[in-house]
A and B are shown apart, each in its own frame.
Chain A
Amino acid sequence: MAKIIGGITTSHIPAIGRAIEGNLQQDPYWKPFFDGYPPIREWLNEKQPDVAVIFYNDHGLEFFIDKKPTFAIGAAAEYHNADEGWGIKPIPPIKGHEDLSWHICNQLVDNEFDITICQEMRVDHGLTVPMQLMWPGYKYDHMKVIPVCLNVEQHPMPSPKRCFDLGKAIGKAIESYDEDLKVVVLGTGGLSHQLDGERAGIINKKFDIECMDKIVNQPEELTKYSILDLVEIAGAQGPELIMWLGMRGVLTGNVKELHRNYHAPISNTGAGTMLLENS
């Protein structure tokens, strides 16, 4: 049976992609952020997961507001990145796991999560930046991914609780999949930031640390926030916490924090990097 071995949180902002492209990992501005990743890479290298389920949001590459799914799941053999308009070089294609994707989708719809199933889906920096952070140098050919795309761009957005519950349903689906696979789950994005309006530039470090503390063993506490609470406390892009909650929902066993790093700012954002083991 498939086994969920752990969860990882990571920022996914485009500036990280640009820093990687410019080889700025040791630059004084970026070093405290990138230094959070080697322990995670060592763990990935030791555990050798087969599949990564990645909670992310699409910032206007695959989806425009003509059709905006609240929850969309990839079911493709391969995912492609593309030009997002600001000149970051697209990364090579990423493999998918079609059978597991369909199995998850079948279970989800049966459990009243009426997701949009995508056999073609371009993936943007929300997914590709984390891939580069986990497997630098595009060394992710051994991995298969399942993109889980949540709407965090247009209100109404799904509630923190709903996203946590979606994660739980995905976790149950994975555990009922009849193949010996090791699965890791990524919750990307966050934490506090606001790009738009006169309030642009707010970072709430206290809130960010609270999220990192509670995501480990009190995730239900975080589901008490409404989307409006998150906008108010953590900025217009603060609702990206829902992707962390999706990830956390998937971890159904005993969860132990193995590593964390917090650094603010990177670009306009407070960056929380965590490794959670699920046993």
Chain B
Amino acid sequence: MSYLDEKRNIPGTILFDGKMARKGYGLNKLCYSLNDADGREAFAADEQACCDKYGLTEEQKKAIADRDVLKLLELGGSIYYLAKFAGYIGLNVQDIGAQQTGMTVEEFKAKLVEQGQS
């Protein structure tokens, strides 16, 4: 039995497994294209055209337009490819951490520091 057959509830966490990898294939491929300057330029020139090129669903397109990381994760985004999208829009991992947890960036950073001290 695969460990993925075990239905363990880990709150606030989506496992990026085969189901998500299929669901998010185009979305992640779009984000992967942002590795290259050409990909970033194409995306900057026309986000919608790029979303169409990689076959994003309407929901995924909206989440891209909204810069909504939690929604993108739910729609099959892998954090490793979304990180490239986040970098492109000028957000670091504390910024997206704050966005996902509903904290301010300062609160999120303070929480990290606190855990390091405990």
Name A's B-contacting residues (CB within 8 A).
15, 59-61, 64-66, 82-87, 153-156, 159, 194-205, 226-228, 231-232, 236, 263-265, 267-268, 270
The residue in B8, B12, B73, B81 that gathers the most chain A C-beta atoms within 10 A of its C-beta is B12
Which residues of the partner chain B approach A65 to less than 8 Å between Cβ atoms?
Answer: 21, 25, 28, 78
Per CB-CB distance, the 5 closest pairs between chain A and chain B, nearest first, are: A86-B87, A199-B12, A264-B116, A198-B12, A85-B84
Q: How far is the CA of A83 from the CA of B87 in the complex (A)?
A: 12
Q: How far is the CA of A117 from the CA of B60 in the complex (A)?
A: 35
Interface of B is mostly: helix
Which of B14, B70, B112 interacts with A203 by CB under 8 Å? B112
Whether the pair B29, A64 counts as a contact (CB closer than 8 A) is yes
Whether the pair B87, A87 counts as a contact (CB closer than 8 A) is yes
Which residues of the partner chain B approach A156 to less than 8 Å between Cβ atoms?
Answer: 2-4, 17
CB nearest to B73 among chain A residues: A196
Whether the pair B13, A197 counts as a contact (CB closer than 8 A) is yes
Kindly provide the distance from the CB of B105 to the nearest chain A CB, expressed in whole angstroms: 11
List 23 contacting pairs A-B, 8 Å CB cutoff, sorted by A: A15-B93, A60-B78, A60-B80, A64-B28, A65-B78, A66-B29, A154-B21, A156-B3, A194-B13, A195-B96, A196-B13, A196-B69, A196-B73, A196-B79, A196-B100, A197-B73, A197-B100, A198-B100, A200-B12, A201-B111, A228-B6, A268-B94, A268-B97
Q: How far is the CA of A145 from the CA of B22 in the complex (A)?
A: 34
Other than the known A154-B17, A155-B17, A204-B115, what 4 A-B pairs have Cβ atoms closer than 8 Å? A153-B16, A200-B96, A231-B10, A231-B15
Kindly provide the distance from the CB of B22 to the nearest chain A CB, expressed in whole angstroms: 9
Interface of A is mostly: loop
In this assembly, does B63 line the interface, its C-beta being within 8 Å of a C-beta of chain A? no
Which residues of the partner chain A approach B34 to less than 8 Å between Cβ atoms?
Answer: 85
**Number of residue pairs A-B, CB distance < 8 angstroms:** 134
Q: How far is the CA of A87 from the CA of B86 in the complex (A)?
A: 12
CB nearest to A270 among chain B residues: B116
Q: How far is the CA of A264 from the CA of B79 in the complex (A)?
A: 21
CB nearest to B91 among chain A residues: A86
In this assembly, does B104 line the interface, its C-beta being within 8 Å of a C-beta of chain A? no
Which of B32, B92, B97 interacts with A200 by CB under 8 Å? B97
Which residues of the partner chain B approach A199 to less than 8 Å between Cβ atoms?
Answer: 10-13, 101
Interface size class on chain B is 35 or more
Whether the pair A154, B115 counts as a contact (CB closer than 8 A) is no
Whether the pair B36, A205 counts as a contact (CB closer than 8 A) is no
CB nearest to B19 among chain A residues: A155
Which residues of the partner chain B approach A66 to less than 8 Å between Cβ atoms?
Answer: 29
Contact flag A64-B115 (CB < 8 Å), given A198-B11, A200-B101: no
Which of B11, B78, B88, B111 interacts with A153 by CB under 8 Å? B78
Whether the pair B78, A154 counts as a contact (CB closer than 8 A) is yes
22-80 of chain B: CB within 8 A of chain A: 25, 28-29, 31-32, 34-37, 40, 69-70, 73, 78-80
Q: How far is the CA of A7 from the CA of B32 in the complex (A)?
A: 33
Whether the pair B94, A267 counts as a contact (CB closer than 8 A) is yes
CB nearest to A122 among chain B residues: B35
Q: How far is the CA of A263 from the CA of B15 in the complex (A)?
A: 27
Q: How far is the CA of A264 from the CA of B116 in the complex (A)?
A: 4
Kindly provide the distance from the CB of B20 to the nearest chain A CB, expressed in whole angstroms: 9
Whether the pair B12, A197 counts as a contact (CB closer than 8 A) is yes
